[in-house]
Amino acid sequence: MNSSSTTKTILFWMSIVFLGIMLWKLVSTNKPNADNVSYSHFLEMVGRNEIRDARIYLDANSVSVSASRRDSQQRVSTTLSYGDWQDLKERLIDSGATVEYTNQKKDDWVLLLLNGLPLLLLVVFCLFLMQRMRAGAWRGAQTSLPKTHTGIGYDLHRLEYGRPLIIGGIELPFDKGPVGHSDGDVLAHALCDALLGAAGLGDIGTHFPDTDPQWKGANSLLFLEHAKKLLADKNFAIEHVDAVVVTEKPKLGPHFPKMREALAKALGVSADKIHLKAKTNEGVDAVGRGEAIAAHVVATLSSR
């Protein structure tokens, strides 16, 4: 979790705690906890000067009173007829009580609204913050998940006597070698095509045409180095390479470790990301007759 997410989380939980405190205070402040007494009993308390303050609510047909006692935090309430409230008011004033009165209990609702407005704003803020956090988490998850791209490559070269056999960047002892504009490295060419295809960057013929004299006899590892730079410019990373070289002779297995090292160095990756296999063509067609060599490659890239 980054610092921005941590800050948002702390602010969110602080808001929740503050929300709970305000809600508790609001409920406890406005919670009706007065003892209801008869009007005659209430007059007796007034006569004994037990009432400290009173609030009289005038309604169309009746009057209600909410009062606090002098000797405790206890509140009492009572109801009386509309015609008696003036007399009650005078008795309360004569007893030294503070008296307030209103036509109806709307003042309490105004007070409740005023007390609840910060709470309402806080709820809206918490909801907004939660929405932003969820949206940020979703965007973060989408951003952090790499996208996978796969490309395939294929190459084939005729074999002729007296030419060097270069596969995977190394020269193998053999009496035949590939015919090509460059060094004819069938594995490097197929790998280059697979990488470029996965990144949507064309193919090897687009970047290194056989009509360009500068690539005459060129080391095919240079093609891979160039492909690596193209991938880096587009924020692609090589995740895995799986290749099959098809030839009757020579045996390639013993040479795979050096091939992997050479290819990995050219691509700037670890050798464990490159997997090589060798197959024969069971004597079938030009490859099976030893007249050609082929390679198939699948490359997997990731991007962010």
Distance CA 215, CA 304 (A): 33
**Cα distance between residue 40 and residue 195, in whole Å:** 97
pLDDT value, residue 39: 87
Instruction: Give the chain's domains with CATH numbers.
Output: 3-143 (3.30.720.210), 147-303 (3.30.1330.50)
SS3 (DSSP) at 224: helix
| Closest residue by Cα to residue 221 from 247, 273, 259 | 259
Please report, as a single letter, which amino acid is at residue 2: N
**Inter-CA distances, 17 with 20, 45, 52, Å:** 5, 42, 36
Which residues are bridge partners to 65 per DSSP? 56, 78
d(CA 177, CA 158): 8
What φ, ψ does residue 276 adopt, rounded to 5°? -120, 140
Residue 37 DSSP code? -
pLDDT tens per residue across all 304 residues of the chain: 455 566 666 666 666 666 666 666 555 544 446 788 888 898 898 889 989 899 888 876 778 888 999 887 788 999 888 788 888 888 888 888 888 877 655 445 555 555 566 666 767 776 776 777 676 665 655 556 678 999 999 999 999 999 999 999 999 999 999 998 889 999 999 999 999 999 999 998 888 887 888 878 789 999 999 999 999 999 999 999 999 999 999 999 999 999 999 999 999 999 999 999 999 999 999 999 999 999 999 999 998 6
Phi, psi of 256 (to 5 degrees): -60, -40
Quote the distance between the C-alpha of residue 284 and its chain's center. 53
Tokens of 226: 């160039």
pLDDT (0 to 100) of residue 270:
96
User: CA 261 to CA 273: how far, in whole Å?
Assistant: 10
* CA 78/CA 76 separation, integer angstroms: 7
